[in-house]
Amino acid sequence: MAKGKVNQKTTKKQEKKAVVKKTTSKAAAGMIKKEASSRLSAVSPRVINNGDISLEGLLQAGCHFGHSVSKVNPRMQEYIFTVREGTHIFDLIKTKVQLEEAIDYLVDSVKNEGKIIFLGTKRQAAEAIKKAAQATGMFYVNARWIGGLLTNWLEVKKNLVRLEELNNKLLEKNPDLTKYEISVLKREQRRLQDLYGGLVGLEGLPDKLFIVDPKKEQTAVREAKRMGIGVVAIVDTNADPENIDRVIPANDDAQASIEYLLDQIVKSLKKIKHD
């Protein structure tokens, strides 16, 4: 009985804590919104109203939440607005401006027939990255970045050619192949598909690399820098923006934040095809 009462007390305490946290977060969000709104008079109308990107949308998606103050990268200080409950809060006006600049950068590349690889291997980003690439006719990596993907492109290209060969061979349903041979081919196909499936059709190095969480994808950032490939990235307060050509300062951990930012990019890239 005593143990049951202790568990009940613990549960109630946790529920109360959750309610308090939720209420505090709402209050903090309201305060941030109010403070941001009060600063709009100092910003040009183009920045406030341009396109579908709004401060309200960024706020609702949770793009403003950074990491705890102890994890901050000093180079991200210029994008931070304030601190709430030990967590850094992004300046959403700067996030909006940076996002628009990043979109222009990608749009210019695509207009010149440039190709983009969307990269995001963390759980919250994987599906959104895949959808963004497919919606824009681009390419993606959402399982694991293979070291040398950019710096050793000729070897990667061989794997892509092999994957296409396997896809065609298995589609043909060759009656001369035994069940064992088919199973071996399917196993090889699955392995290559997991690693390179999002790159099928890419004939050469991409012009741009879009990254969710460059801290996690440091190898890709280094390779792109070495090969002269432009990098656009969603950069949280704990990451280093040093080698990123277009920084989008925002929450790179929340799925809603990642999806909102990618949606804005997808809309702009799709407009090019319709124009």
Query: What pLDDT digit, counting tens, does each position of 220-231 carry?
Result: 999 999 999 999
What number of H helices and E strands is found in the chain? 9, 8
**DSSP symbol at 50:** S
Question: Which pLDDT value is given to residue 16?
Answer: 40
Alpha-carbon distance of 200 to 11, in angstroms, equals 50
pLDDT mean values, one per 10 residues, the chain (275 residues): 49 42 50 57 50 87 94 96 93 96 96 97 97 97 95 95 92 82 92 94 96 97 98 97 97 97 96 74
Which tokens sit at 151? 């710096």
Tokens of 139: 């390419």
SS3 235: strand
Tokens of 263: 């949606």
Domain spans, the chain: 39-148+205-275, 151-202
Predicted local confidence at residue 199, as pLDDT: 97
Does the domain at 39-148+205-275 match CATH 3.40.50.10490? Answer given as: yes
In this predicted structure, what is the pLDDT of residue 19?
37
The pLDDT, as a whole number, for residue 110 is: 96
Tens-digit pLDDT profile for residues 106-134: 999 999 999 999 999 999 999 999 999 99
Who contacts 254 (Cβ-Cβ below 8 Å, separation ≥6)? 61, 62, 63, 65, 124
Rounded distance between C-alpha atoms, residue 267 and residue 244, angstroms: 22
Q: What is the pLDDT of residue 10?
A: 45
